[in-house]
Every structure is written in structure tokens, then in C-alpha cells.
């Protein structure tokens, strides 16, 4: 589906997991959080990013009714294309790229921004940064520096990391030039490789440069039930709202 003659960036929101570690009665993406379903926070941020010309929501087939009613109720003004995901995060991403393949190959889509519904605090500013960095360099990953790491040997002896190494914890949204991203996922599929995040497949199967840009510690991932408390407080507190 081509909506604009100029190449555009597309948002892909991954919500096709089942949230097993949360232990709730449903996929965590649909849990209520500060007044709305978790995934609606990400979709509302996307709606504030003019560079994002389309939004793809990747769902579990079982969640289709829940997804459509949530969108109708909570993000009625954002056009969202809903597709079924796969059996892993990687497969869900690959489904989205296959769905977009014709528009990526025609040049209508130049950037794909991939975001986990499990990170409801990512704001529009971080999404725009990811798109800008990806357009310039190839790939963009938000990172938060980790300074409290030490090494440990098999006996449990601790040691210092090499001072020249810096370590970051990576987050989503991650953005990539669309064509090398699609090619990387096809190559990964041919080798039956599954990356834990998008950048691991891109780094293994493409030549594009993947740059880290400044993430935000408040852009937390909601994995366990205790994470809901902090996410709820952060989302409810206007002074914590991420740009």
C-alpha cells in the first residue's frame, strides 16, 4: 500500500507475544496501565511522529478482537494495519517485513522503526531520533550506559572491566534502512538464525552501520508483574512523560 510518493518511515509495533513471565490472564500488551492498555501508549507516541507515515501492529491471532476494540476505543485517529505475528519475536518481525516487502523493494518505504509494545514509555522524541540516525547511518539503537558491571571468573572472583570498553543496555524503538533490513531477515531465514533483537540480525547479515543513540532509563521494558508498578507511576506522572 503506497500512501506517499516520497519514501516514508513505517512503524512496526510488536505485540504478538503472550507475556508468560507476567503471569496475567492475557497478553501483557493489553493490560491496563495508567488508564489505557499498555500498547496504546506506544501507538499514541507514534501518532505524534510526522515522519511515520504508516503503522503496523503485529498481534497474536487470538488477540484480534481485543486489538481492534482497543484501537477503536483508545487510538481511533491513527490508521493501523494489523497483521499476525509468529512464534518468536524474530518471526514476528520477519512477518512484518514480508508484509512490507513490495513497498520496501519499490522504495516507498525507506525506514522501518521497530518497537516493542512492552516499552510503553518510549516517547515521540526517541522515535524521531531513531529515524534520523537510521537515515544517516543505516541503523539506530537506543542505548543506556551501564557503569556497574564487573567481570566474574568461574570461581566467583570479581574483576574490573577493561576501562576502554563501554557497555550499553539496548532498548527499542530501533530503526533501520528498510532494504538492508529486509535482506538481512531473508538471509537469517535461510540460515534459520533467530536474533534476540533486531540489531543482532542486522549486524550478522548486513553491512550497514548500527549506531547507538541516547536511550532513557525510564524507557523500561515491562516483563514481570512488579514492573507494572513503576511503569504505572512513570506514565501517570506528567513530569516523567518522555519527549
Nearest CB to ligand CTP, comparing residues 118 and 130: 118
Stretch that binds ligand CTP, among 43-51, 86-94, 103-111, 235-243 (CB under 6 A): 86-94
Three-state SS at 171: coil
Stretch that binds ligand CTP, among 2-10, 14-22, 143-151, 183-191 (CB under 6 A): 14-22
Q: Which residue is nearest to ligand CTP (CB)?
A: 17
58 strand-pairing partners: 14, 83
C-alpha span between 93 and 86 (Å, rounded): 8
User: What is the nearest approach in angstroms of Mg ion to the Cβ of residue 17?
Assistant: 5
User: What is the nearest approach in angstroms of ligand CTP to the Cβ of residue 175?
Assistant: 16
Burial 81-100 (b: 16+ CB within 10 A, else e): eebebbeebbbbbbbbbbbb
Contact 201, 170 (CB under 8 A): no
C-alpha span between 113 and 193 (Å, rounded): 21
Burial class (CB in 10 A: 0-12, 13-18, 19+), 78: middle
User: What is the nearest approach in angstroms of ligand CTP to the Cβ of residue 28?
Assistant: 6
Nearest CB to ligand CTP, comparing residues 15 and 56: 15
Here's the x/- map for ligand CTP, 117-146, by CB under 6 A: it reads as: xx----------------------------
Binding site for Mg ion (CB under 5 A): 17
Binding region for ligand CTP (CB under 6 A): 14-21, 28-29, 58, 85-89, 92, 116-118, 221, 223
Amino acid at each position: 500500500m503506497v500512501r506517499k510518493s516520497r519514501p516514508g518511515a513505517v512503524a512496526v509495533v510488536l505485540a504478538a507475544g503472550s507475556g508468560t513471565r507476567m503471569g496475567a490472564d492475557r497478553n501483557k500488551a493489553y493490560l491496563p496501565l495508567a488508564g489505557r492498555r499498555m500498547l496504546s501508549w506506544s501507538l499514541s507516541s507514534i501518532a505524534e511522529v510526522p515522519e511515520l507515515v504508516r503503522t503496523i501492529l503485529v498481534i497474536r491471532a487470538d488477540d484480534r478482537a481485543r486489538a481492534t476494540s482497543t484501537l477503536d476505543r483508545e487510538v481511533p485517529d491513527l490508521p493501523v494495519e494489523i497483521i499476525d505475528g509468529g512464534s518468536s519475536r524474530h518471526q514476528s518481525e520477519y512477518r512484518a517485513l514480508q508484509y512490507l516487502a513490495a513497498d520496501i523493494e519499490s522504495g516507498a518505504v525507506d525506514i522501518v522503526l521497530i518497537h516493542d509494545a512492552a516499552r510503553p514509555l518510549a516517547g515521540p522524541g526517541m522515535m524521531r531520533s531513531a529515524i534520523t540516525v537510521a537515515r544517516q547511518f543505516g541503523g539506530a539503537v537506543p542505548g543506556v550506559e551501564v557503569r556497574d558491571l564487573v567481570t566474574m571468573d568461574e570461581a566467583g572472583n570479581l574483576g574490573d572491566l577493561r576501562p576502554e570498553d563501554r557497555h550499553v543496555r539496548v532498548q527499542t524503538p530501533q530503526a533501520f534502512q528498510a532494504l538492508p533490513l529486509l535482506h538481512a531477515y531473508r538471509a537469517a531465514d535461510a540460515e534459520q538464525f533467530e536474533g534476540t533483537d533486531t540489531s543482532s540480525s542486522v549486524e550478522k547479515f548486513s553491512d550497514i552501520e548500527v549506531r547507538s543513540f541516547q536511550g532513557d532509563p525510564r524507557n523500561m521494558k515491562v516483563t514481570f508483574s512488579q514492573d507494572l508498578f513503576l511503569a504505572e507511576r512513570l506514565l501517570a506522572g506528567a513530569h516523567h512523560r518522555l519527549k
